Amino acid sequence: MNPRDEELVASAQSGDRWAFEELVERHKHKAYHIAFDFARDREEAKDLSQEAFLKAFTNLKNFDGRSSFYTWFYRILVNLCLDYKRRQKRAPADEFDETVEHQVEPSQEPRMPRSPDQHVLAGQISRQVGVALQALPPKQRTAFILKNHQGLSIKEIAETMQTAEGTVKVHLHRAVTSLRQRLAEFA
Amino acid sequence: MAVQNNPLSTPCKAFEEDLVLFHYGDLHGSERDALQSHVSACAACADYLKELGQLLPLTVKADEPGQTFWDDYSRELRHKLDAAAEKRTWWQNIAIIFQPRVLSAVAGAAVVVVALAVTLGRGLWPTTDVPRDDAAMMEALPVAENLEFFKAMDVLDDLDLLESMGSQGAA
């Protein structure tokens, strides 16, 4: 039987490296995808999610178990992603989508080949979405990504963002309204 | 899909927030029932829900890296964890010294060592104090060097005495 996260955390806190590596294996996919949703760049997403694991590793002694490891870890990750976005603010918002297009591995290409028109349109949407997401205030963007991209519940988002569920709902609604206006042409 | 320029639908203000939650399946119980019955009667809110269903999935950029990526990811992270653990050990060793209990024990031991060194080492260490005999010699030497001078001074004292006696006799 696989040990629960709490058991692995307890072992890792007493110096068991294997236990921490097991936690990494469990959460690395989701961590990477959250980071990718913020960064929209494969290398950046890898670095951000790995940095979050390192931070969790060095601060594991401070984890008191009041929340789940999952919530605690994703809070670290989201904060790193928001810091990354703050640093990126000066860079042109539409640059990252081009790199994403080139990063898709051959095995992950869509099965149906796109026509040139479809390819252009997909690129256009991707750029526009990138700009629209970038324009959202950090809390709205976080609530939106965790809900829309990651499918977290309102309660989980509230715990991750350390805020009230009602506040998350407001952020989410405002984010959706703003994105809807910016992406109206694709409706 | 083609780019369109459809005007956005305007949902009822009172239901707008709930419509977003409904879209994500986060509306439950009586609230959900109330919204469903409203949407079935309100074309604007129904259009709004339809729009959300079309637009929001477009914002998701899926990225599914292959197994090679994940193998590299784990290996790279393991190296980083090794480096972090090494760094932490080094810091921990330094930090142990600065823990209050250890620090006070080290300070106490240092005081005892200094006290013992002062007490026991007094007789062993060379001092700059001059020995008593040498000191006497040092005092006597300048006097010895100026002995002639002091003798001359004695003669002068004798002359003074003779002079005063002479003057008394004359009187």
What is the structure's pLDDT at A167?
Answer: 97
Residue B106 belongs to some domain of the structure: yes
- Are B88 and B43 in the same domain? no
Residues B76 and B102 in one domain: yes
Q: What is the pLDDT of residue B1?
A: 44
- pLDDT value at residue A84: 83
B108: containing domain: 67-121
- Measure the CA–CA gap between B117 and B104, rounded to whole angstroms: 20
Q: Which top CATH class is A1-91?
A: mainly alpha
Do B55 and B95 fall within a single domain? no
Measuring CA to CA, how many Å separate B103 from each of B89, B94, B117?
19, 11, 21
**Chain segment A125-144, per-residue pLDDT in tens:** 788 888 888 899 999 999 99
Q: What is the pLDDT of residue A100?
A: 38
- Same domain membership, residue B71 and residue B28: no
Average pLDDT value for residue range A62-73: 90
**Does the beta carbon of A48 lie under 8 angstroms from any beta carbon of chain B?**
no
The two tokens of residue B69 are 């990526």
Q: Which of residues 116-135 of A touch B (CB under 8 A)?
A: 121, 124-126, 129, 132-133
From chain A, the residues in CB contact with B88 under 8 A are 58
Assigned domain for B160 exists: no
Provide the pLDDT confidence category of residue A115 given band limits of 50, 70 and 90: low
pLDDT above 50 (res A94): no
pLDDT of residue A56: 96
| Between B150 and A58, residue with greater pLDDT | A58
* B30 is a domain residue: yes
Where does the pLDDT of residue A83 fall: very low under 50, low under 70, confident under 90, or very high at 90 and above?
A: confident
Nearest to B51 among A45, A132, A187 (CB): A187
The reply to whether B171 falls in a domain is no
Residue A157: φ, ψ to 5°: -65, -40
Mean pLDDT of the A26-38 span: 94
- Global pTM reads 0.65
Domain ranges of chain A: 1-91
What is the per-residue pLDDT for B164?
A: 76
Which range is least confidently modeled, A22-36, A96-110, B22-36, B81-95? A96-110
Residue B126, chain A, CB below 8 Å: the answer is no
Give the rounded percent of residues in chain A with a pLDDT score beyond 70: 82
Residue B52 and residue B73: Cα distance in Å, rounded? 35
* Mean of pLDDT values over A53-81: 92
Average pLDDT of chain A? 83
Q: Is B59 exposed, middle or buried (0-12, 13-18, 19+ CB in 10 A)?
A: buried
Q: Rounded CA gap, B7 and A108, in Å?
A: 35
Question: Do B83 and B50 fall within a single domain?
Answer: no
Going residue by residue through chain B, which has 171 residues, state the pLDDT in tens, using 9 for 90 and above: 444 555 778 899 999 999 999 999 999 999 999 999 999 999 999 999 999 998 888 888 878 899 999 999 999 999 999 998 887 666 666 666 666 777 788 788 888 888 888 887 776 666 555 566 676 777 777 766 777 766 667 766 777 777 777 777 665
A59 shares contact with chain B (CB less than 8 Å): no
* Residue B169 is assigned to a structural domain of this protein: no
Q: What is the domain count for chain B?
A: 2
Closest residue of chain A to B76, computed from CA coordinates:
A50
Average pLDDT, stretch A5-12? 93
A141 touches chain B (CB under 8 A): no
Sign of the torsion angle spanned by Cα atoms A47, A48, A49, A54:
positive
Interface confidence, given as ipTM, is 0.75
With respect to residue B1, please indicate whether it lies within any of the assigned structural domains: no
